[in-house]
Homo-oligomer: A and B are copies of this chain.
């Protein structure tokens, strides 16, 4: 199952359907161990991964992810948390005064946790496993924190549904590189250029079908009115800020 740059990176796909094949501790631990070699802020390793496979725990977690299909079929959910708790405890036990109950420390820990999460995804996929991020982790972060018994200075920031693949995943169309990469300064696109950069996405057949199914006029309206509407974003923003305060990061 070893893969090279050219074999894996241009072709990777997110998988939302998993086979019944068991995912054992040794495989999970090997992937996480390799992933911890990823870069981390000042080598502080500001993260903790909670691995859930217990059926009762999964039954409590899935509703936090709105029972989305990937959360239901996965053999395990890996909740990756920004964690300054373990490091702060070590400081106090080492005659040092930790000053990490602030927002900069949260961003450093979120960076570390996300880097680790992506390294887990890459290694797992290169080994032939399927993965899918559950973006819902920040929506119901407070509920997830309670289920996982997260203490102060620990907040979930990424969740990976994982298992052996049962399908090839979906093709993932992407914007042309000119849309997302700029030399020297932020690009000064005209309205026409923005329209052109998104044109292939607007015209992509599965997206057009998506627009029709949702009774919308444009693909953008599917995002703003159905998938990520303002009211939902504002509601979950308020809840996430509340959690950061509860956990002493704000």
Contacts and interface: CB of A to CB of B under 8 A. Distances in A.
Given A89-B194, A102-B237, A42 B135 contact: yes
Given A4-B4, A138-B104, A158-B111, A218 B95 contact: yes
A41 B237 contact: no
A114 B118 contact: yes
B93 A191 contact: yes
6 A-B pairs with least C-beta separation:
A99-B230, A94-B220, A96-B220, A114-B114, A94-B218, A103-B237
Given A102-B234, A104-B138, A49 B181 contact: yes
Given A29-B181, A45-B180, A103 B34 contact: no
Given A111-B157, A114-B111, A182 B51 contact: yes
Contact of A123 (B5, B158, B184, B220): B5
B37 A219 contact: no
A68 interface: no
A96 B154 contact: no
Given A94-B219, A95-B221, A107 B175 contact: no
Interface string A197-222: 11000100000000000000111110
Given A52-B184, A154-B186, A98 B224 contact: yes
Given A2-B6, A51-B184, A94-B220, 6 more contacts: A9-B123, A52-B183, A86-B179, A91-B220, A93-B194, A104-B240
A51 B183 contact: yes
